[in-house]
Amino acid sequence: MERERDMRLIRPMLRRFCADKKRLPLKISLIYALFGVLWIFLSDSLLEFVFTDPHWHYRGQTLKGWIFVLVSAGLLFGVIEHYRRALFRTEESLDELVQGVSAATGEAFFSLLTQSLCQALKADYAFIGELTGENNSRVRTVAVYSPEAEVENFEFVLAGTPCEQVVSRGLVSLPADVGAHFPADSLATKLGVTSYVGIPLFDAEGRVIGPMVVLSRRPLEDQNLAVKMLKVFSLRAAAELQRARSEKTIEYMAFYDPLTGLANKRLFLDRLEHALPQARRAQRFPAVLFLDLDRFRNVNDTLGHAAGDQLLKEVGRRLQLTLRKDDTVARLGGDEFLILLPNIRQAEDAAQVAEKIIAALRLPFDIHGFELHLAASIGIAIFPFDGETTDGLLKNADTALNRAKELGRNNFQFYLAEMNESSLSRLGLESQLRKALERGELRLHFQPQYEVAGTMLVGLEALLRWEHPERGMVSPAEFIPLAEETGLIVPMGEWVLRQACAQNRAWQLAGFAPLRVAVNISARQFHQYDLVRLVRNVLAETGLDPQWLELEITESLIMQDSQGAVQKLSQLRELGVQIAIDDFGTGYSSLSYLKKFPIQTLKIDRSFVKDLSRNRDDAAIVDAVIALAHSLGMDVVAEGVETVDQLHLLHGKKCNRVQGFFFHPPLPGEAVTLLLEKLSTARDEGESSLLCSAL
């Protein structure tokens, strides 16, 4: 028993002694010398004991010499051969490893390397990993090998593992007791790992991008060889890992939008192309939704591109949350998005999704501390009815989108055959509109505004008209949105402002009582960087006193960027011009919010005035608006007054000014001159007003 225990202690010592190839020649010499000394002592004592006869003793001595030579030669051969074979084996496996590995690239390289490392070092596991996650706190393996079983790639948290030390300090070599050193490393504990060698892999800039590791459940036969092999292959492994990462990035950039992380057009088309034949087989009707954000440009123009980018990211996130996993959301560029719904059974499903999207985007966005309101227009094309090819579907969804925009935005439209024609006419309209300004086809009409109590003409609203050579008078409702979109509104708006101020000044110079002229300013114009300078210059050029100019802006325009709007409006106010909010009640603003803005006039939208006498709700809204506006020191103008009933009601509600077809439609300049002449003669003749009869 005791002997057995001794052997159990001695055997590993012996094995370690033999395995350690340090000072190999000295060891062989020592073994040889020890064997020689033992032989001399033992053989001499034996000879003396066995042979007493001197003749036989002499013979025995000779034989002993021969036996020593033969046995020691045999032993020497055995020892040297053992080491030679071991050396040869290592060389051979290294050679194989280098040859095999150097021919491979990418994934093949990683799996071959891990496999060869395991085989050459007789290790149980080898893996190559890359750092991922926030602050590189995790490792994801790109290749794992175990000779015993097939192991899938896995991911683990770096903290508390020997790999953490590899990443932070460099090479780690632990011949034994890995579990005891790293009790928190559950994976190592689970696998029963004893030996560990790990080396960091660096990218070209010297940053650690991952570890390369060899693990074993028994102590590695040759820990030093493991360290050397990892050192030899770490450079190549790092280069391959970096290459794989760059390839991934390039692939990502080729198929994804870097800003939002959504698919790009290429990936979208790819998915659409795959979806079409599948849909045919499965009797599905994939839908393509083309989405455009309304008024997004204003955000970029006013809050800057960083805010714009943030908003786009948010929109992308909301779209993804609204849609299902098998739907694809792609960003086409700018504020345009494409959505593929591959599993639609009927058109109504697509409509439902579009509605859901519009509702999701209608909720305010909190961007850099600003509450922004967005709206979206969506065009829908359904396979195979609206197109049988990817190109056809995209084109028709785009056409449907344009129709949605024409219909006042914030809505969705299906593609219909006749839409193609209307979009062609739109294209024609755009190029004609560009020429309208140069050809002098724009006209300015003026709609008179009366004071409701005094029944006196107090102002004129300048309204743009386009005298088209073939189509006659074109309504601004038709071309202002197009002018906004194309940017033509800027030179057009400048023309209107100059024309309105010049005309007003001309009437004053002609001796008529001074009136205030109101000019509509659209979003694009308002956000124009030099609007204040333009107004100042036009006033100076025309000689009009600023108090006779009123600028009408819409509430949604100021709500988009309230901070910027307050600043710009204050600068305009400093010039001395009046500011009015047009179409009040159609946007999202609250009256209390308006306190912040330097506004003198609120124009109640026509839609509230229309049913004033029949609709109690509208009457209540008008009451509230008037009361609140007055409490904020603002005047109220009612638009679209068409009947005497409406006028009476507004009079009773203490509305300040009125305007509408009941008095006059928008009139050409000459007609206004005639009206002014008529009014001034009436005044001279003592008639209090032309309107007395009406009230």
**Residues forming the site for ligand C2E (CB under 6 A):** 447, 463-464, 475-477, 480, 493, 496, 520-522, 552, 582-583, 606, 639-642, 660-661, 666
Alpha helices in 604-661 (DSSP H): 606-610, 616-631, 644-652
Angle value at C-alpha 593, between 590 and 597, nearest 5 degrees: 125
Distances in Å between the Cα of 462 and the Cα atoms of 487, 493, 535, 573 are 20, 11, 15, 20
Distance between CA atoms of residues 644 and 613, nearest Å: 10
480 binds, among Mg ion, ligand C2E, none (CB under 5 to 8 A by kind): ligand C2E
Could you tell which of ligand C2E, Mg ion, none binds residue 447, using a CB distance below 5 to 8 A set by kind?
A: ligand C2E
Minimum gap (Å) between residue 552 Cβ and Mg ion: 4
Q: Which is nearer to Mg ion, 423 or 449 (CB)?
A: 449
How far apart CA 307 and CA 323 sit, in angstroms, is: 24
- Identify whether the C-beta of residue 373 lies closer than 8 Å to the C-beta of residue 408: no
Task: Label residues 411-448 b or e (16+ Cβ within 10 Å = b).
Answer: bbbbbeeebeeebeebeebeebbeebbeeebbebbbbb
* Nearer CB in complex with ligand C2E: 372/638: 638
Which of Mg ion, ligand C2E, none has residue 493 at its interface (CB below 5 to 8 Å by kind)?
A: ligand C2E
Minimum distance of ligand C2E from residue 558's CB (angstroms): 15
CB of residue 484 vs ligand C2E: minimum separation in angstroms?
8
The option from ligand C2E, Mg ion, none interacting with 209 (CB < 5 to 8 A, set by class) reads: none
Q: Which is nearer to ligand C2E, 43 or 586 (CB)?
A: 586
Stretch that binds Mg ion, among 6-14, 231-239, 282-290, 637-645 (CB under 5 A): 637-645
From 150-158, 316-324, 631-639, 686-694, span contacting Mg ion (CB under 5 A): 631-639
Residue facing ligand C2E at closest CB distance: 660
Nearest approach, Cβ of 583 to Mg ion (angstroms)?
Answer: 4
The angle at the Cα of 148, spanning 144 to 153, to the nearest 5 degrees, equals 20
Closest separation in Å from C-beta 253 to ligand C2E:
41
Rg (CA), the chain: 45
Nearest-angstrom CA–CA distance, 215 and 121: 10
Return the structure tokens found at 428.
């024609």
Q: Tell which residue, 189, 339, 216, 200, has the closest CA to residue 271.
A: 339
Sign of CA dihedral 534, 536, 540, 546: positive
Least Å from the CB of residue 555 to ligand C2E = 12
Neighbours of 66 (CB within 10 A): 9
475 binds, among ligand C2E, Mg ion, none (CB under 5 to 8 A by kind): ligand C2E
- 398 versus 583: smaller Cβ distance to ligand C2E: 583
Q: Which does 587 bind (CB under 5 to 8 A by kind): ligand C2E, Mg ion, none?
A: none
Burial 528-557 (b: 16+ CB within 10 A, else e): beebbebbbebbeebebebebbbbbbbbbb
Nearer to ligand C2E, 162 or 448 (CB): 448
Print the binding letters for residues 568-607 with Mg ion: x by CB under 5 A, - otherwise: --------------xx------------------------
| Smallest separation, CB 432 to ligand C2E (Å) | 18
Please name the amino acid found at residue 305.
H
379 touches, from ligand C2E, Mg ion, none (C-beta below 5 to 8 Å by class): none
What's the rounded Cα separation, in Å, for the pair 619 and 176?
88
Which residue lies nearer to ligand C2E by CB, 222 or 582?
A: 582
Of 553 and 679, nearer to Mg ion (C-beta) is: 553
Q: Which of ligand C2E, Mg ion, none binds 618 (CB below 5-8 Å, type-dependent)?
A: none
Tell me, what DSSP letter sits at residue 519?
E
Token duo for residue 647: 């006028």
Helices and strands (H and E) in the chain: how many:
25, 23
In the complex with ligand C2E, the residue whose CB is nearer, 338 or 577, is 577
Helix (H) or strand (E) holding 672: helix 669-684
Q: Going by C-beta distance under 8 Å and a sequence separation of 6 or more, which residues neighbour residue 421? A: none
Q: Which does 550 bind (CB under 5 to 8 A by kind): Mg ion, ligand C2E, none?
A: none
Q: Which of 177, 182, 122 is nearest to 146 (CA)?
A: 122
Q: For residues 380 and 521, which CB has a smaller minimum distance to ligand C2E in the complex?
A: 521
- Given ligand C2E, Mg ion, none, residue 9, with its beta carbon under 5 to 8 Å by kind, binds none
| Residue 520 touching Mg ion (CB under 5 A) | yes
By CB under 5 A, the residues from 534 to 563 that bind Mg ion are 552
Residues forming contacts to Mg ion in the complex (CB under 5 A) are 520, 552, 582-583, 639
